[in-house]
Amino acid sequence: MLRVGSRVACTACRNLVSTNMGVRFRVPLQKLHPLSRAIHHRYSANANPQRPPHRTAARHFTSMSRLPMRPAKPPPGSGGHGYQQQRNFWVARLAARLLRLRYILLGSAVGGGYTAKKTYEEWKDLLPDFSEYNWVIPDFIWELSEQIDLEKLAKALPEIEEIAKLLPDMDKIGENFTFLKSLLSSETSGDPPLKATDSPAAGTSESSDKQYKKSSDREKLDQLQEELLRTQMRYQRMLERLEKENKELRKVVLQKDDKGIHQRKVKKSLIDMYSEVLDILSDYDSNYNTQDHLPRVVVVGDQSAGKTSVLEMIAQARIFPRGSGEMMTRSPVKVTLSEGPHHVAMFKDSGREFDLSKEEDLAALRHEIELRMRKSVKEGQTVSPETISLSVKGPGIQRMVLVDLPGVISTVTAGMAADTKETIFSISKAYMQNPNAIILCIQDGSVDAERSIVTDLVSQMDPQGKRTIFVLTKVDLAEKNLASPNRIQQIVEGKLFPMKALGYFAVVTGKGSSGESIESIKDYEEDFFQNSRLLREGMLKAHQVTTKNLSLAVSDCFWKMVRESVEQQADAFKASRFNLETEWKNNYPRLRELDRNELYEKAKNEILDEVISLSQVTPKHWEAILQKKLWERVSTHVIENIYLPAAQTMNSGTFNTTVDIKLKQWTDKQLPHKALEVAWETLQEEFARFMAEYKGKDQDDIFDKLKEAVKDESIKRHKWNEMAMDSLRVIQHNALEDRSITDKPQWDAAIQFMEETLQSRLKDTDSVITDMVGPDWKQRWLGWTNRTAEQHVRNETKNELERLLKLHEDHTAYLANDEVTTVRKNLEGRGVEVDPVLIKDTWHQLYRRHFLQKALAHCNLCKRGFYYYQRHFVDSELECNDVVLFWRIQRMLGITANTLRQQLTNTEVRRLEKNVKEVLEDFGEDTEKKMQLITGRRVQLAEDLKKVREIQEKLEAFIEALHKEK
User: Which residues touch 468 (CB under 8 Å, ≥6 apart)?
Assistant: 438, 439, 441, 458, 462, 499, 500, 501, 502
Give pLDDT, residue 592. 87
Mean pLDDT of 186-194: 41
Q: What is the Cα–Cα distance from 370 to 321, expressed in whole angstroms?
A: 6
Q: Which of 48-57, 453-462, 584-593 has the lowest mean pLDDT?
A: 48-57
CB 457 within 8 A of CB 428: yes
54: pLDDT strictly greater than 70: no
Q: Which of 23-27, 179-183, 315-319 has the highest mean pLDDT?
A: 315-319
Distances, alpha carbon 438 to alpha carbons 257, 293, 474, 552, 560, in Å? 33, 11, 22, 14, 11
Amino acid at 393: K
Whether the CB-CB separation of 470 and 498 falls below 8 Å is answered with no
Q: Measuring CA to CA, how many Å separate 739 from each of 753, 761, 895?
A: 16, 24, 14
> What does the pLDDT look like over 417-442, one tens digit per residue?
888 889 999 999 989 988 889 999 99
What pLDDT is attached to residue 245? 65
Instruction: Give the number of other Cβ atoms within 10 Å of residue 966's Cβ.
Output: 5
More confident site: 529 or 253: 529
DSSP H helix total and E strand total for the chain: 36, 11
pLDDT of residue 252: 62
Task: Encode pLDDT of 146-184 as tens digits.
Answer: 555 656 656 665 565 665 555 555 565 555 555 555 544
Please state, for a pLDDT cut of 90, what percent of the chain lies above it.
11
| Dist CA 545 CA 535 (whole Å) | 9
The pLDDT value given to residue 495: 80
Mean pLDDT over the full length of the chain = 76
222-242 pLDDT, tens digit per residue, is 677 677 667 766 766 676 667
Mean pLDDT of the region 831-847: 88
- For 254-309, write each residue's pLDDT tens digit: 555 554 433 334 456 778 888 888 877 776 654 444 567 888 899 999 888 888 88
